[in-house]
Amino acid sequence: MIIVMKPGASREHIDRVMEKIQGFGYKPHPIFGTDKTVIGAIGDERGKARLESLLTCDGVENVVRILKPFKLASREFHPAPTVLNLGGVRIGEGSFTVMAGPCSVESEEQLLAIAHEVKKAGATILRGGAFKPRTSPYAFRGMEEDGLKLLALARQETGLKIVTEVMNPRDIDICMKYADMLQIGARNVQNFSLLTEVGRAKAPVLLKRGMATTIEELIMSAEYIMAEGNMEVVLCERGIRTFETATRNTFDISAVPVLKKLSHLPVITDPSHATGIWDLVAPMAKASLVAGADGIIVEVHNKPEEAFSDGPQSLKPATFAALMQELRKLAEIENKSM
């Protein structure tokens, strides 16, 4: 339910309504606008009749039911698009943010070389996996905290912000110590214990769509994070599993405008995992921008043939730099800043 306060409602009226919401067993989530305040009441929907009684409270203009199963992430609750500010890096409406770097942190030499290259090309966020989910238990599964320390070193040298994947609730604190943004990967999109703990941690989150996750299920996973009070969530389309075998996954480009229509959260894409083939990354990155995405996350490696993971889908630095030039031209046409 959404409680819409009258224009000019006093803080006393707002606080009293929030106290009543809490008294009914709901969590109040206020949004203070320039003209009026709206308060989302999140909880067991069986008690919504009690919330409708708030219409009699001083300062309340209307009580509106949210029809979608996701509440905090919906456009009904928050009509204006959300924009994240990641230490000066803007993610959201009007911007096209590029996150780039290797699939896995492999060594100091490797990471710093790539970090400087993507920075020079115009990326503002460095991606790199220190904890790696792998299909085989015998594959390289990351440098863990040593990898996180290298990411922090790369940030110190380049000024790039850091996004890295967290896989286990017990690793959240150590990842937050070094990273600016936590990534929830495709395999953990419905790991509800992890989503809840990340929500409580209040760190900015990049939430990737699972290979068999519907759009509604993706937004509901974001809702788990937001229900704990963490509103800094970015959604990521990274391809879904279909009958097609020509690419690693099937890139659901239509998910971008659909997500933007249903949710106020920023939406980016991952053309690297979506295709799995390096020479398909640039066309899909450009398609993402035109489709309305707020950015991309791309894998870049200086020696893809020697990469510990995902070499076939990684761009070499020169190819990435050429892509960035093309994206800037498109961004200008689409009235987006880079």
What per-residue confidence (pLDDT) applies to 139? 66
The CATH superfamily of 84-333 is Aldolase class I (3.20.20.70)
Coil/strand/helix, residue 173: helix
pLDDT tens string 140-175: 677 889 999 999 999 999 999 999 999 999 999 999
Residue 161 one-letter amino acid: K
C-alpha to C-alpha distances, 107 to 89, 111, 139, 152, 309, nearest whole angstrom: 26, 6, 17, 13, 13
Q: What is this structure's pTM?
A: 0.91
CATH number belonging to the domain at 2-64, selected among 3.40.920.10, 3.30.70.1140, 2.40.10.10, 3.10.580.10: 3.30.70.1140
End-to-end CA distance of the chain: 37
pLDDT tens string 209-219: 999 999 999 99
Residue indicated by tokens 């305040």: 37
Q: Which residues of the chain have pLDDT under 70?
A: 45-47, 134-135, 138-140
What per-residue confidence (pLDDT) applies to 72? 93
**Residue 98, beta-bridge partner list:** 296
Ordered by start, the domain boundaries in the chain are: 2-64, 84-333
